[in-house]
Amino acid sequence: MRILYVSHSFPLPGQPLSNVGGMQRVATGLHDALAAHPGVALHSRVLETSWKATPYRMPGYMAGLLRDIPRTVAKEGIDVVLFSSMVTASLATVVGGRVRRHGARLAAIPVGRDVTLPTTGYQWLVPRVFNALDLVFPISRATGQECTRRGLPEGKMHIVPCGVDTALFAPPHDRAAARRELLHAIGAAVPDDTLILVSVGRHQERKGFQWFTDAVMPRLPADVLYLVTGEGPTTPQIRAAIERRGLDGRVRLLGQVSEEVLRTLYRGGDLFVMPNIHVPGDIEGFGVVMLEAGLCGMPVLAADLEGISDVVSAGDNGELVPSEDADAFASAILRRRGDRPALAAASASAARYTAAHYSWAAIADRYVQLLQRPGAEGRLRTAVAGE
């Protein structure tokens, strides 16, 4: 199968921190998995750019695709044009006719906010993009529901989860040594029995980092340490919550970290926290960082909200609690703190479950199976790796 992969979400070559986030992880991870798939001849038209430069480079990139997509389809005998998000998929409304004349189909992967962005012009466009596509692959049931609310016929939709790089992320051979490495990396000296919580992501309101700092951390004892990576628009509010609640030293903002430090956090921490809150128009489509943490042996404690609910399987890789329920979050953390053998068992289970269900190789194979189906009409199907 000849696939033309189109994405605007790639970081600069050799600079992975220049463009980070869930959309970027999905775009690059799937690209590499498809490139390695024995049944795929992959052609790519990707924008490699920094996060800050993306808005300035997008107009020229999108304009070039209007010419490059039909030309590449004709020259290379492309079977499917696969857009990694609804942003680039908007071009299907313009190039669809020329692409189909050469026998190719058009498909896209909605990830969440690229469907729900609450602006009038964009919401006018979304149903027209769905109409121009042949196949649509939302990354979660929540994202799929947002798509159907905007007119996507269920016959076009197949829900396929995100994957994780099993070569890049793996549990440590010695978790005690990994913990020492983590404490050394962040320059922390804490008692051995300290429970280390970790959150990873861009500091946006929906991530709930400020809420968790303000509402949950004051309910926890002093031997619970909360480490938060990333930065973003709500960083000042998180800092203000730390100061207001007297949590200096117990909540540490690490900023953007390298892949090496990220793996150190995943392997040395005790519990990964996804404390998301509902923000209208800003859905959490999946939460690929939960897969990375789980594969490294860190169980997840997460809000039962939106795409997160698809990722966490109770008793397998973590626990779901109601969003914005501070008592539920605190109680779950205290249970983990008070039962270290159970926490160790949960760690091993998370690594096994994630590896078995979410490898990028299995996810890419599922995409290929679905893309090879002629027409792809019929009932809604939910694709789970390993099915």
Q: Which among 148, 99, 89, 97 has a CA at the least distance from the CA of 122?
A: 89
Same domain, 153 and 182: no
How many Å apart are CA 135 and CA 158, to the nearest integer?
8
The answer to the question of residue 387 being in a domain is no
Same domain, 158 and 198: no
pLDDT digits (tens, 9 = 90+) for 216-237: 999 999 999 999 999 999 999 9
Q: How many CA atoms lie within 13 A of 120 on its CB side?
A: 0
How many Å apart are CA 372 and CA 83, to the nearest integer?
16
Same domain, 55 and 90: yes
Q: How many domains does the chain have?
A: 2
Domain that holds residue 85: 2-163+359-382
Q: Which among 6, 279, 277 has a CA at the least distance from the CA of 117?
A: 279
Same domain, 240 and 352: yes
pTM of the model: 0.86
The answer to the question of residue 263 being in a domain is yes
Same domain, 127 and 21: yes
CATH of the domain at 242: 3.40.50.2000
Same domain, 215 and 247: yes
Q: Which among 158, 160, 139, 138 has a CA at the least distance from the CA of 147?
A: 138
Cβ neighbours of residue 331 under 8 Å, at least 6 residues apart? Answer: none
The answer to the question of residue 170 being in a domain is no
pLDDT digits (tens, 9 = 90+) for 327-363: 999 999 999 998 999 999 999 999 999 999 999 999 9
With b meaning 16 or more CB within 10 Å and e meaning fewer, what string describes 192-213? eebbbbbbbbbbbbbbbbbbbb
The answer to the question of residue 295 being in a domain is yes
What's the confidence (pLDDT) of residue 19? Answer: 57
CA angle at 68 for the pair 63 and 71, rounded to the nearest 5°:
140
Same domain, 150 and 220: no
Same domain, 199 and 328: yes
Same domain, 117 and 239: no
pLDDT digits (tens, 9 = 90+) for 3-51: 999 999 787 777 766 656 667 778 888 999 999 999 999 999 999 888 7
Query: What average pLDDT does the chain have?
Result: 91
Same domain, 368 and 263: no
How many Å apart are CA 54 and CA 19, to the nearest integer?
9
Cβ–Cβ < 8 Å for 212, 199: yes
Same domain, 181 and 326: yes
